[in-house]
Amino acid sequence: MVVEFATDRSNKGIALEQIRRKVGATAVLFVGDDLTDEHGFAALVQGDVGVKVGLGESCAGYRVSDVDEVAQLLTRLVEERQEWLSGRRLTPLHTLSVISDLRTSAVVDGQGRIVWLCLPRLDSPPLFASLLGSDEHGCFGIHPCDDHGTSEVAPVSQRCESDTLVLRTNWQYATVTDYFDCGGGRAFQRAGRADLIRVIEGSGKVKITFSPRLDFGRSPTRLSLRDSGLEIEGCMDSIVLHAPGVEWTIRSEGRHQSAEAIVALDATPVVLELRYGTSNSRPHPRSESQRRTETSLFWSNWCKSLRASGTHTATLRQSALMLRALCYGPTGAIAAAATTSLPEHLGGSRNWDYRFCWPRDAALACSALLRLGNTGTALRFLDWLAAVVERCESPDRLRPVYTLTGADLGAEGEVGEVPGYGGSRPVRVGNAAAQQVQLDVFGPIVDLIASLAEHGAPLSAEHWRLVRSMVSAVEARWQEPDHGIWELRGPKRHHVHTKAMCFLTVDRAITLHKMETGKDISHWIELRELIRAAVLAHGFSQRAGCFSAAYESDQPDAAALAVGLVGLVSEQDPRWRETVEKVARELRTGPVVLRYRYDDELPGREGGFHLCTAWLIRAMLTLRRDEEARDLLNGMLACVGPRGVLAEQFDARYEIALGNLPQAYSHLALINSILDVEAATLRGSQQP
């Protein structure tokens, strides 16, 4: 007495493929007993498992007799899964630490192991890449041990010395101090020569494991003994580990080699110095303590120049240091993050390489530092940008992303030799966004220059030419569709955020020109109002009740908050209030805000985006919803790792950090949110 209805073009196999794509599944277990389940079994691919329940012909690879055996199967699957996960010991991203010399960065895990390091530059191939796999993909570890070299003792603490990127990992009887030598102006010298110093102090014994892997292990990595340490063979530039007095044992691991040593500690510190770009194995002319002092002063003196105060002073300084660590000293470029392919969906394919300079991201980072009183970073970045624009065919052809030296990126590639963080494949190098059209890039640049002028920075005629170039670019292309700030890999659209940034470009240029000359430029005003009218006519969805992701779209998008944040609509406009409420209601998840919920043609579900959270905080403050904004800020603060590092995203469902780190977007978002909420608190206290 059952009648089944089905559409012509739908079955369980098609549904299974849709679900697989939506959740970013890397494998599927499909269990069924019905004739229509055969479509599901037929849709399975290598690595999937199909289980037929009961008798009858089936294309499933396995069979169980009844529902009770299904329950047993699922129970065993859960047990196997739990055992596998516990064996992997995946390092939570929020527990990682970062050290830098303004040319490259190293990521250190909570056990004091260097798990990520690219040399000589941030965007070079890695020497240590276990962060994206296991120790076999490159790791430099130090830990206390017994006479046999084994130990399960965890560090009791790990932190950077105050206002520095000098990291100390403390066990009960031993301490390891890690830093890059930043003395002698080397942070601003051409990349190619770097010294990573690891100082071991305390008592008892420690085991040192040195397992470099050239270019993700794609090239054989061989080691040779030197009188005072080790040398890595076969690399283009010389690399030595200066370790006088340490007796090494070299072992072969396939086509690679690693070295181990057990050292008995005494009153004299053990100093390990990884020297890139030289085969010199002689002692350094300056003592380790002098080099550490110079490095500490390099960072702390910069921090002293910041105007950070209030309840969250330490957090502001930490985030400012993370932005500083992403600066490329030789040119003034700023990387979006220090890593590649840390996943936005754990186990999925939303893995991107962020070790490059997006002019938009860098300008926003400079603006955040400017609010803390730092102008030097912005001026250095604008020098880099001016040189990039000079090499462009025309200013409106400014690319979304460049290398740290200002060159065009090569093709995006995949590295099959590394399994990825938590099995998140593929591991990518390069970024295809370099070939996209992103017309929002001009707004943050002009806004930064105008803000510098408002802070009294010494702007030059070159900065003014840069402003004119950006306005000309908007004038030429603002009516075109683009790929937008989220770099969607589908067709170009008329993104509302992009139009708002074009509006901001012209609006801030008008402000700047009036500051300089006391006059208006009428055709710029006409252009600004033309852009405003177009957004108001096409960007607001009556059906959705908000400014949407793009023209002719009903989908909310946190980036659409730009219309109010840049002044395209007033704070009193009911459409602005409706948009803020829509984003808060449909995109907020716990302490974070999603970018959007619509299908972006990529598998998996990403976490909340810290930059979007900051936008909603500022939007709420425009509506005098100060308590809600403060609540969101507290949630963002809770996402900051114990070493002050913020990744790109936070998954509220599983309470884990996601994405590359330290993420410039996230740290500038935290700085802006703290300052915005503190300003609102001050405003409230001054009201009668």
Note the pLDDT tens digit of each residue in 507-547: 999 999 999 888 889 999 999 999 999 999 999 999 999 99
For the chain, give the mean pLDDT. 94
Confidence of residue 146 (pLDDT cuts 50, 70, 90): confident
| Stretch 426-449: mean pLDDT | 97
DSSP letter for 315, please. H
Q: Which of 292, 175, 162 is nearest to 644 (CA)?
A: 162
Long-range contacts made by residues 192-195, C-beta under 8 angstroms, separation at least 24? 192/120, 192/237, 192/276, 192/277, 193/120, 193/276, 193/277, 193/278, 194/101, 194/103, 194/104, 194/119, 194/120, 194/275, 194/276, 194/277, 195/273, 195/274, 195/275, 195/276, 195/284
Give the pLDDT of residue 6: 67
Give the pLDDT of residue 85: 57
- From the CB of residue 463, how many other CB atoms can be counted at a distance below 10 Å? 20
Asked whether residue 163 carries a pLDDT value surpassing 60, the answer given is yes
Domains of the chain in start order, with CATH, are: 12-88 (3.40.50.1000), 93-301 (2.70.98), 305-409+417-515+523-686 (1.50.10.10)
Give the pLDDT of residue 410: 92
Give the pLDDT of residue 150: 79
Asked whether residue 87 carries a pLDDT value surpassing 80, the answer given is no
Alpha-helical regions (H) of 12-66: 12-23, 37-42
Round to whole Å and give the CA distance between 300 and 641: 21
| Stretch 377-396: mean pLDDT | 96
Write the CB contacts of 110 (distance below 8 Å, at least 6 apart in sequence): 91, 95, 96, 154, 155, 158
Asked whether residue 633 carries a pLDDT value surpassing 90, the answer given is yes
Asked whether residue 204 carries a pLDDT value surpassing 70, the answer given is yes
| Stretch 241-248: mean pLDDT | 96
Give the pLDDT of residue 244: 95
Judge whether 326 and 648 are in contact, CB under 8 Å: no
DSSP letter for 154, please. P
Q: Write out pLDDT tens, residues 337-368.
A: 999 999 999 888 999 999 999 999 999 999 99
Give the pLDDT of residue 84: 64
Asked whether residue 82 carries a pLDDT value surpassing 80, the answer given is no
Asked whether residue 86 carries a pLDDT value surpassing 70, the answer given is no
| Stretch 324-331: mean pLDDT | 98
Establish how many alpha carbons lie within 13 A of residue 264's alpha carbon, considering only the half-sphere containing its beta carbon.
Answer: 2
Q: Write out pLDDT tens, residues 117-134.
A: 999 999 999 999 999 999
Round to whole Å and give the CA distance between 27 and 672: 41
- From the CB of residue 537, how many other CB atoms can be counted at a distance below 10 Å? 9
Q: Write out pLDDT tens, residues 92-101.
A: 999 999 999 9
Q: Write out pLDDT tens, residues 5-47.
A: 766 678 899 999 888 877 777 789 999 999 999 999 999 998 8
Q: Write out pLDDT tens, residues 641-688.
A: 999 999 999 999 889 999 999 999 999 999 999 999 999 998 877 776
Instruction: Kindly report which listed range (18-22, 106-110, 250-254, 572-576) carries the lowest average pLDDT score.
Output: 18-22
Instruction: Kindly report which listed range (4-13, 286-295, 468-477) carries the lowest average pLDDT score.
Output: 4-13
Asked whether residue 188 carries a pLDDT value surpassing 90, the answer given is yes
Residue 426: is the preceding peptide bond cis (ω within 30°)?
Answer: yes
- Map residue 107 onto helix, strand or coil: strand
Establish how many alpha carbons lie within 13 A of residue 311's alpha carbon, considering only the half-sphere containing its beta carbon.
Answer: 12
Asked whether residue 148 carries a pLDDT value surpassing 80, the answer given is no
Residue with tokens 């008892």: 204
Judge whether 248 and 230 are in contact, CB under 8 Å: yes
Alpha-helical regions (H) of 392-520: 442-454, 461-477, 496-517
Asked whether residue 195 carries a pLDDT value surpassing 90, the answer given is yes
Establish how many alpha carbons lie within 13 A of residue 126's alpha carbon, considering only the half-sphere containing its beta carbon.
Answer: 33
Asked whether residue 112 carries a pLDDT value surpassing 60, the answer given is yes
Backbone angles phi, psi at 165, to 5 degrees: -115, 45
